Amino acid sequence: EIVLTQSPTTMAASPGEKVTLTCRASSSVSYMYWYQQKSGTSPKLWIYDTSKLASGVPNRFSGSGSGTSYSLTISSMETEDTATYYCQQGRSYPWTFGGGTKLELK
Amino acid sequence: EVQLQESGPGLVKPSQSLSLTCSVTGYSITSNYWGWIRKFPGNKMEWMGYISYSGSTSYNPSLKSRISITRDTSKNQFFLQLNSVTTEDTATYYCARGGRVFDYWGQGVMVTVSS
């Protein structure tokens, strides 16, 4: 199975700061999905097909990557962006998730 | 609006079966794919399997001998059964729409396996 490794595990960012979260796959995947999960709520699809924003996602978010390396970037951190972000691959069964990056406000 | 709602017991004894229901409103389960995902304490997430619009299924090989996903199209519900549970199956269980990417999720149900 494809193992997804997210880094960092936890990070804190100041309002207005640029944030980059990374997801590395143990084998090449064609695209990556990202979910945002806030405490006590269910995950929300955030980015699909590597770089497409899900409905309602602010355009300060972007996704990029190819092969085994993918990233989610926030151009300017806002308070509401505090959450845990998970990557997920749908290239090879079984679908797998990364361990998550917890993003906090500094 | 598509809505999913999990239901089922929050406590299951070791060696017994875990059974959960996902009730869907706003969309027919005879369209699309419908999956189960769980999140363990410590945040690891695992895709468990899905049932398709036609009723075909696909399961995570790590669970293949213990898992069954079925549906009742008349009630627009689909179900998860996980047999021979152990404490390692303690998790929050989510149902979601999608076979590869999951765009609508239920609120989740926490299931504890304990005697």
Task: For residue B64, name the pLDDT band (cuts at 50, 70, 90).
Answer: confident
For A55-95, what is each residue's pLDDT tens digit? 999 999 999 999 999 999 999 999 999 999 999 999 999 99
What is the secondary structure of A30-74 as a DSSP string?
Answer: S--EEEEE-TTS--EEEEETTTEEPTT--TTEEEEEETTEEEEEE
Per-residue pLDDT, averaged over B96-103, amounts to: 96
Residues A5-51 have pLDDT tens digits of 999 999 999 999 999 999 999 999 989 999 999 999 999 999 999 99
Q: Do B105 and A43 touch (CB under 8 A)?
A: yes
Residue given tokens 């509401």 in the structure block: A80
Rounded-to-integer distance, Cα A70 and Cα A78, Å: 22
Provide the pLDDT for residue B69: 98
Across the interface, whether the CB atoms of A45 and B60 are under 8 A apart is answered: no
Collect all residues of chain A within an 8 Å Cβ-Cβ radius of residue B100.
90, 95
The answer to whether the CB atoms of A42 and B94 lie below 8 A apart is yes
Position B39 pLDDT exceeds 90: yes
Distance CA A26, CA A47 (A): 20
Burial annotation B22-57 (CB, 10 A radius, 16+ → b, else e): bbbeebebeebbbbbbbbeeeeebbbbbbbbeeeee
Query: Mean pLDDT, to the nearest integer, of B93-112?
Result: 97
Which pLDDT does position A79 carry in this prediction?
Answer: 97
End-to-end distance of chain A based on CA atoms, in angstroms?
36
